[in-house]
Structure 1
Amino acid sequence: MDATLPAVAEELLREIKKAFQETSHVPDDLLSALKFVFGASAVPALDLVDHQSVTRIVSPSGRTVYQVLGSSGKLYTCYASCHFCSCPAFAFSVLRKSDSLLCKHLLAVYLSQALGTCQELTVSNKQLTSLLLMEDSLS
């Protein structure tokens, strides 16, 4: 079973997805709510989405992982099922200080899912295992 975000965050992402499906854009009030709920991560996450920096990697076993090309050019591995990112900001701001719900990379994953803008990459089970063990890029 997937881990869940706080209800307000989950609902906001659902509303963004619904609005985008109906109108092909995200209304200003939802963008304001996004900034309110996710703070400083919101605008950089939207920028990553605009630059199509999120890749959904799937294997024949059905396992899924995301890679996000950060603004610095480094690839980060994100696990949407447990709300985890390999970036230093996640370790510090989310896990250590608990002053953020998500880092910009993980928020970009959720926004890309809601907006249907994830790049897709299918790899073998062996390639995915290598990615998970080595943190290497497959792209």
Structure 2
Amino acid sequence: MMSLPTNLMPLLETALNTFDILDSPEEEDEFIEKLRFFLDDNLILAALDLVDRDSVILYNTPWKHTKYEVLGTTSTYSVFLGRPDKTSLHTAYCTCPSFAYSVLASDTQYMCKHLLATVLAIRMSKCTKRVVSPNELAGKIMSGLSTT
């Protein structure tokens, strides 16, 4: 399998960080078209489907810590974005098997559909928001780590 060119990673990050919140369908279309340069159409469509089904959950703690989960077709996956102010693909991670294989092991994709869905949901303001206590968050983090 061919590995992805690493010099395109900063360009993909720039494309993902270009828009804070997309306000119009035209801006969303322009954003998606830029992503098509880097990502497979099937990956983009699968991620948009997750966003449309409100599958991206943002958990907020009383001390402003955030955690993302994506309700996949077979399981729930934890998504870690790294820096809270920007998407950093170098530190982003998903607990799904596809991320482990396609991104980490074989280097055939820049991200999985769950990670992309999380980024898109943030940009489109379509995360399902929930407030959690410290104990609930700790349980969610531990259950997310145990699925890897």
- Output the TM-score relative to the length of structure 1: 0.81
Distance 2:26 2:121 in 1: 13
2:14 is the counterpart of 1:11: yes
The 5-angstrom pairing of residues 45-124 of structure 1 reads 45-70=47-72, 72-81=73-82, 82-124=91-133
Where structure 1 has 5 or more consecutive residues not aligned to the other structure, the ranges are none
Distance 2:128 2:104 in 1: 28
* TM superposition shift of 1:8: 1.4
* TM superposition shift of 1:58: 1.6
Higher normalized helix content (fraction of residues): 1
Aligned sequence identity (%): 31
2:145 is the counterpart of 1:131: no
Greater than 6 Å deviation, 4+ residue runs: none
Distance 2:49 2:37 in 1: 17
2:45 is the counterpart of 1:36: no
* TM superposition shift of 1:25: 4.3
> Alignment length, in residue pairs?
129
Secondary structure, in 3 states, of the residue corresponding to 2:126? Answer: coil
Contact preservation (8 Å) 1:35, 1:43:
no
* TM superposition shift of 1:99: 1.1
One-letter amino acid of the structure 2 residue matched with residue 47 of structure 1: D
Distance 1:111 1:27 in 2: 10
Secondary structure, in 3 states, of the residue corresponding to 2:37? Answer: helix
* TM superposition shift of 1:15: 3.8
One-letter amino acid of the structure 2 residue matched with residue 104 of structure 1: K
Distance 2:26 2:53 in 1: 16
